[in-house]
Structure 1
């Protein structure tokens, strides 16, 4: 074995941890740029609660509530301009994956010149970022536990992955009590994203012992508890397990990257602004069918982790690996995520653009997949999912 492992994030996990946000921010600075979305954080009352906690801790707040569902590079640039203009010395992101990714980018650009697009393709980046605290309000991206962010360039529709250790948060707050107001559709989409992260980290070519351990545990937890919170969002005991599985998935892909499903979904939601987990669900069974024979052992491990009834007991490795596709398909149906790309508005004449952008912007994920896909194969897979 030959691998490295580093996670320099102070993860504060558990019920009631949201109450620590003022103290966690105050440890890092006295004026915070609070990054959030336009609606849900306000509607739930969480924003007002956090403002009170920050005031109690003696922290001055500048609010930046402009983040979209798929954050734009232009939003990152405007946020970092606000950060510098107001003299904030810490960034706090409160929201789902889009908000946390935006907060990462803003904290990074707070100490770098130019535009964020100047840095997205650089192999190595020097310098530092403004100290960052993240509080997740969904259990999907696991962004609180890694140094990865995803931004959409509105001028090209490319949805680009940004990876640098400078994006690590100083503190991540994961409070399952924040999830109980999520609507079922959001629980399903974000939960399926979390499952996707863990499956892809486990079966991919860049898997290593730590990511395999994290992903295997997370898949077992999601198989049992994701349907329960989808059916009853007040089930706080199951939310604890789903939240932990989500954070594990974020750490796993931070170590081992995502695979072909994420590579193919990014052009899809970059072009159509589709909810990421919904786009993944539309692609997933076909892409598992494409890949499973290239890593029978890992796909069999996925099937056993998803098995709540013992149905895989006695199955051969090949049968078990193949069965993982049926299990994921059944979960997609249970979560009301059984869409085709046509259902999501994709047209046949857009396939060529998506294929080209997938191949040009998502090579790390293409290379990570257990079976390498050519441009012709990616094009055929998009068509099969229409």
Structure 2
């Protein structure tokens, strides 16, 4: 995705000073670390306006610069390069953030989330609050944290909505000592053949399934039946839902054995794409460690709509949304080693007469929908 001229300066002004310095360095602008924010923006805009991107200097003898993981993506967006080659790897980057130590609390809170790595910074977004939890470099290296690892930690507060981890309690649902002894499995796909039943229906384990749910979610008997069943299975259960009302989110959080990756109603747009990337990375890691996954995606139409908002799509679905959704769907499958990922894509009963939604759901379903 590239940005049109009228929005280009606004986008540049929204970047952090670290991203501005990295972008200036990539554009060949001299001494970016000595310039104030306003000067960086002015020179970046001027360089891009000329259309001539100078080569960065290679003979810099000063302190080595820290490269941000998303600078190439930002540069491609601003210059329009490689737009047709947009891939999941390009989308799956996170902004580098820095912990701010303004206070230190003696109180330790238990927090959990999916690890993100941006440059040299490791952090996660707590699943039950708007807080970010940072993992120190030594602690991260000790257990070799990767993007997508599920962390449960004890952390203390360092500033508003920021915490710093003191201890890692578990990693990918295992004690740390046990996790260190694990190895990644060589997985090969096999044909799924097992089913699990709910109410009057059944779900293909290791397959792509579509289920109609009553709306709102917290009164859906079908959904309750599915949750009650998968909670008895030896698998990691993950729920993804975006733009959720308080009642539905509260209901989901009442299930103890369910990792709930959600966004609030009318929350920030970019949250949806970041959390879907978290989900994809998490499932890939769990499967590689020999763990099966039951993935429930609530209201597939809303998921796509929220992703389109993230990328300010002029048409729906956007290319970026399709890349992320297809990547998520592709994870569904049965493998050797008795490992599988079961996708349960749901839609609300009020959408049953919407032909667009119906056709999109049929494309990812292994079952015949009877509506």
Higher relative helix content: 1
Q: TM-score, normalised by structure 1?
A: 0.28
Higher relative strand content: 2
Q: TM-score, normalised by structure 2?
A: 0.29
Which is higher, the Rg of structure 1 or of structure 2?
A: 2
